[in-house]
Amino acid sequence: MDKKGRPGRRRTLSEQDILDAALALLAEGGADAVTIRGIAARVGVAPNAVYTYFPDKAAVVRGLAEHLLGRVDHDRFADPSQSWRDRIRAFALELRAELLAHPGSVHLMLSHPPDGPHTQAVRETLLAILADAGLGRAAADASYLINTHLLGSVAFEVAAPPDDPEAGTTRFRWAVDRLLDGLAAHVAAVRAERSAPR
Amino acid sequence: MDKKGRPGRRRTLSEQDILDAALALLAEGGADAVTIRGIAARVGVAPNAVYTYFPDKAAVVRGLAEHLLGRVDHDRFADPSQSWRDRIRAFALELRAELLAHPGSVHLMLSHPPDGPHTQAVRETLLAILADAGLGRAAADASYLINTHLLGSVAFEVAAPPDDPEAGTTRFRWAVDRLLDGLAAHVAAVRAERSAPR
DNA sequence: CCTCAAATCTGTACGATGTACAATAACTGT
DNA sequence: ACAGTTATTGTACATCGTACAGATTTGAGG
């Protein structure tokens, strides 16, 4: 695990190593377990070595959130042969599963909202589906709605897990369906107004 | 500000003092500013005095969340003369305002979900409105949906504030309206099924 | 090949945090 | 008055982020 014992320019680390270690710590011990010293120990390096790659802990945490988002395959939901409702449902469930698999990741995303390429890719996939749904100008707001509900929902579930994990999934699915109903109603209303203006 | 300089049984503190100090710190410096030592200093007492009233910091934080919920007047929304949609909208906006007024409070609620009398009172108010709406068995899930969206939404807004705070309110209102549309559609569907069973 | 600056890492150290432990003073009941 | 309980203090420790100052290796320019 440990690389060397003496200082010097040796390139024993990489940004990926740090993020991988951070992710492992997150999975094992929750958000509190993600510490600079813990990461360093796990990759076998002095704590300060981390600062060669990240300016401070907040940057590591942001990077970790990005890293996590990079693990979800969102291109899979771009296929327009399925209904937009099914696609969003599946997308939401997938993201939820990924977040639930790493306790603390939601907290971390809510306190240090990432904004790297992976984050934007996810956002764009969502926006594309919503555009297909005919939400037009409201697509951005709808995306925001889905996002915030997802994060809030998972955060709450992590903090206060239901007795039966299955029940959590059922409840989440129900909530997403209500959201989709609301969006569908809005689409219908917009369409109606467009065909019979003011 | 400081009470005394020597040990001894003096009852210089109260649970309320501690929570008030914590709330002030939260309002001033966000969640990170809420520390045992900070609270103690603010009420002019040794850090360990806090442990007479709370077993650990987590308990203080939970108490603080409760304290905060106790400040919102939710009975005001119990009046059934208004439509349930208006009542929920107003309720959500009120809670949002309270949470936004204390940066970090959402985080704190998401990491240490309170469950004291105030929390339950708020939940019951919500449930009552939703029961009026005719949601029946689904009222609990609907309440959960509104709750999680509220928390997620505010958390996100605190972490990444919009350029124009007004825009945040508009967006939130739009989202709540979509939620309400979704719930209304569900109510209609349930009613339809009940009048024409299977 | 030699030199040297830049890059990468280590060691030490400081201030802040939560909190365990023991000592101390004031109150309470007898 | 005395004894026991209890609120408070002071001291101390482990852990955290990270600033600072070396040490060592590496690669580039001569």
Provide the token pair at A4.
């060397």
C-alpha distances (whole Å) from B188 to each of B127, B151, B192 are: 18, 27, 6
Out of B107, B110, B186, whose CB is closest to A156? B110
Among protein residues, the one whose C-alpha sits closest to the C1' atom of D15 is: A37
Q: Tell me, what DSSP letter sits at residue B5? A: S
Give the angle subtended at the CA of A157 by the CAs of B169 and A117, to the nearest 5°.
Answer: 65
pLDDT in tens, chain A (198 residues): 445 567 767 788 899 999 999 999 999 999 999 999 999 999 999 999 999 999 999 999 999 999 999 999 988 888 888 999 999 999 999 999 999 999 889 999 998 889 999 999 999 999 999 999 999 899 999 999 999 999 999 999 998 899 999 999 999 999 999 999 999 999 999 888 878 875
**A24 Cβ contact partners less than 8 Å away, ≥ 6 residues apart:** A42
Q: Which pLDDT tens digit goes with each residue over A66-107?
A: 999 999 998 888 888 899 999 999 999 999 999 999 988 999
- Structure-block tokens of residue A147: 């996002």
- Alpha helices (H) in chain A, listed in sequence order: 15-29, 36-43, 57-69, 84-100, 105-111, 117-132, 139-159, 165-195
Q: Which of chain B's residues have a Cβ under 8 Å away from the Cβ of A153? A: 148-149, 152
- pLDDT tens, N- to C-terminus, chain B (198 residues): 555 678 878 888 999 999 999 999 999 999 999 999 999 999 999 999 999 999 999 999 999 999 999 999 988 898 888 999 999 999 999 999 999 999 889 998 998 889 999 999 999 999 999 999 999 899 999 999 999 999 999 999 998 899 999 999 999 999 999 999 999 999 999 888 888 875
Helices A139-159 & A165-195 angle (0-180, nearest 10): 170
Whether any strand D atom is under 7 angstroms from the Cβ of B9: the reply reads yes
Instruction: Note whether B104 and B34 are within 8 A (CB).
Output: yes
Question: Are the CB atoms for B19 and B64 separated by under 8 Å?
Answer: yes
Token pair of B77 as six digits: 């929304």
Nearest to A159 among B113, B175, B186 (CB): B113
Residues of B in contact with A186 (CB under 8 A): 178, 181
- Residue A196 CA neighbour count, 13 Å, CB half: 3
Residues 6 or more apart whose CB falls under 8 angstroms from that of A149 comprise: A175, A176, A179, B145, B148, B149, B152, B153
Give the pair of three-digit tokens for residue A44: 């076998």
Q: In angstroms, rounded to a whole number, what is the distance separating the alpha carbons of residues A37 and B117? A: 40
Chain B residues closer than 8 Å to A112 by CB: 159
pLDDT of residue B33: 96
